[in-house]
Structure 1
Amino acid sequence: MSLVYPLIPIILPIILCAAIGVFWVRLRQPFDHDFVRVLVLSVGTPALIVGTLGKTEISAAQLQHVLYASMCMLGFSALFAALSCVILRVDLRSFLVPLVFGNFGNMGLPLCLFAFGEEGLAIGLGIFLITTIVHFSLGAAILSGKAMVKGVLSSPIIYAGAIACVLILNHWSLPLALQNTLSLLGGLAIPLMLITLGVSLGSLKLHAAGKSIGLGVLRLVVGLAGGFAAVYFLNLEGVERKVLLLQSATPVAVFNYLLAMQYKREADVVAGMVVSSTLISFISIPVLLYFLGV
């Protein structure tokens, strides 16, 4: 019990918020996915990025290091995922993306906040920013077979990241009224992300169970292996190391299911990967947090 008790304040809020979404679906209450998605991606998350990075004591060098580390994590994860797909003889084009891109937003950001505070959230946001750009550009291009530059450039998250970088590089602070406004708007992002995660999990069906569970477990292994390779290659220490490893261990992102549906890439199996990897992560992530000394 002494090993589990310190992790309860980190894991329990995530489980309870996601459970609201699950029960919401079970009670057959309406949930406008498109409205919530647009609200979170266009208002809540950009406000969270600018508001958090704009007030957190993170240097330009540290932010650059975090972005570089994120790219390394994705690169190593992609290498391990591609090798796994070849060895297991599964369709590389359908499963490379869901194996590489974890739930860095809906689950990763709350974990970073509850485990490591504002500094952890700031680093987690840097990881989320770069992985989101790559996911919806290169990742979508792999699934669709064509470049997706226009879609990326239309995302408010990209511009929020640019504004945050300008603030950090110039050591600027936002006016208090604007900072408070961003804090209010950014505050809605994480709860809505978790409730949406729960709604999605409650709505998805587990198809091709054996294959889905196997690939779901593989995502957790590939992601964490990519994280460890990145921290070893870059010799990361401290909170940066812990946050990168925590983000790398997140389960398959729900967005992978949406993209698989859009581009007709074995969406049923990807849905099963989301469900199975998320359920397993409620055990694997507490183990990782204990390993990280949280």
Structure 2
Amino acid sequence: MNAILTVLEIVAPVFLVGGVGFAWVKAGFEYRIQFVTRLAMTLAVPCLIFTALMKTEADLATLGTLAVAGSLGYFVIGLAAWVILRLAGLDMRTYLAPFIFGNTGNLGIPLCFFAFGQVGLEAAVVMLAVSAIWSFTIGIWMVAGKGSGGKILKEPMIAATLLGALFLWQGWETPRFLTNTLDLIGQMAIPLMLITLGVAVARLTPGRITTALWLSVVKLAICTAVGWAVGTAFGLTGAIFGVLVLELATPVAVTAYLLAEKYEADSNAVAGYVMVSTLTCVIGLPLILGFLL
């Protein structure tokens, strides 16, 4: 019973705050999602990433191992996804990238923070950076048939990751007044990401629900198994291991729908995949967390 209550205490705030965004839109209130997303991804999240890395007590080598393990995890998941989609006769442009890359930002960071505290947050921002690098390059190529390697260098959160890693490596710290300012801005990131997730899901027009349902269950099972196997193979333990498993198991990100819309894949099908995958993880992620704690 204590274990169940612990899991509920961790996941309830994540889904309740996301529910606030969902209810906000359904109530007919205005929510300028492009403005809020830009505010979060260009200011709040980079500040969160930089301060988390600068102040971390984790070893840089451990975080580097996590980044390599995460990259390998995405590669293995990609192979498995390609085989499954090929056997099922589903369109690769529509389903491959969403199967591989989960919602490591809006959902993954808050979940890891509530589950493992500051250590979980620090590890989660590393996984977010890894996911962003691969999804903005190989992920876009999967959907559009062309890469976007130059775009990744312009992403503020990638710059924040590199700068934070430099400060961690050198043992540098910003002046206290600046650190407090960056901390304050970074504290916006988690509630903004969760509310925006709820808003985005509320505005989606889903399609091909049956396909989305079985794919969501398969994605959750495979991503969890791969995360567990890779984490064990790399000798990861504790919060670092837990973050790897949880981040790889996160549901399809809303950005997958935006990419499908932009590059003329089946965006309605991806919208259904986002919604069903997110709902599936309402049950699935607490179960996974129960085994991790």
- Secondary structure, counterpart of 1:57 in structure 2: coil
1:47 CA displacement = 0.3
1:235 CA displacement = 2.6
- Secondary structure, counterpart of 1:173 in structure 2: coil
1:110 corresponding residue in structure 2: 110
The 1-side partners of 2:232 and 2:53 are apart by 26
The 2-side partners of 1:106 and 1:285 are apart by 14
1:156-195 per-residue CA deviation (whole Å, 9 max, x = no partner) reads: 1111011011011111122111111111111111101000
2:194 corresponding residue in structure 1: 194
- My pick for the range that moved more, 200-209 or 179-188, is 200-209
TM-score (norm 2): 0.96
Structure 2 residue identity aligned to 1:259: L
1:207 CA displacement = 1.4
Q: How does 1:12-27 map to 2 (within 5 A)?
A: 12-27=12-27
2:270 corresponding residue in structure 1: 270
- Secondary structure, counterpart of 2:104 in structure 1: coil
- My pick for the range that moved more, 118-127 or 77-86, is 77-86
CA RMSD in angstroms comes to: 1.2
1:64-107 per-residue CA deviation (whole Å, 9 max, x = no partner) reads: 11111111111111111111111212112321100001111111
8 Å CA contact retained: 1:98, 1:219: no
1:44 corresponding residue in structure 2: 44
8 Å CA contact retained: 2:56, 2:168: no
The 2-side partners of 1:33 and 1:6 are apart by 32
- Secondary structure, counterpart of 2:86 in structure 1: helix
1:77 corresponding residue in structure 2: 77
1:228-269 per-residue CA deviation (whole Å, 9 max, x = no partner) reads: 231133232222111111111111111111111111111111
Q: How does 1:111-126 map to 2 (within 5 A)?
A: 111-126=111-126
The 1-side partners of 2:244 and 2:37 are apart by 25
The 2-side partners of 1:232 and 1:79 are apart by 19
2:245 corresponding residue in structure 1: 245
8 Å CA contact retained: 1:77, 1:227: no
The 1-side partners of 2:217 and 2:271 are apart by 13
1:99 corresponding residue in structure 2: 99
Structure 2 residue identity aligned to 1:154: K
- My pick for the range that moved more, 209-218 or 114-123, is 209-218
TM-score (norm 1): 0.96
Alignment length (residue pairs): 293
The 2-side partners of 1:50 and 1:168 are apart by 10
Structure 1 residue identity aligned to 2:24: W
Structure 1 residue identity aligned to 2:145: G
Residue 181 in structure 1 maps to residue 181 in structure 2: yes
1:200-237 per-residue CA deviation (whole Å, 9 max, x = no partner) reads: 11111331111121222222123213212311332322
- Secondary structure, counterpart of 1:236 in structure 2: coil
8 Å CA contact retained: 1:99, 1:218: no
Residue 156 in structure 1 maps to residue 156 in structure 2: yes
- Secondary structure, counterpart of 1:192 in structure 2: helix
Structure 1 residue identity aligned to 2:52: T
2:223 corresponding residue in structure 1: 223
1:63 corresponding residue in structure 2: 63
The 2-side partners of 1:69 and 1:231 are apart by 7
Structure 2: runs of 5 or more not aligned: none
8 Å CA contact retained: 1:71, 1:130: yes
1:4 CA displacement = 2.1
1:134 corresponding residue in structure 2: 134
The 1-side partners of 2:126 and 2:3 are apart by 30
8 Å CA contact retained: 2:206, 2:270: no
The 2-side partners of 1:225 and 1:290 are apart by 15
The 2-side partners of 1:223 and 1:261 are apart by 25
8 Å CA contact retained: 2:93, 2:144: no
Residue 30 in structure 1 maps to residue 18 in structure 2: no
1:205 corresponding residue in structure 2: 205
- My pick for the range that moved more, 104-113 or 84-93, is 84-93
1:39 CA displacement = 0.6
1:285 CA displacement = 0.9
The 2-side partners of 1:2 and 1:48 are apart by 31
1:166 corresponding residue in structure 2: 166
Q: Identity rate of aligned residues, in percent?
A: 35
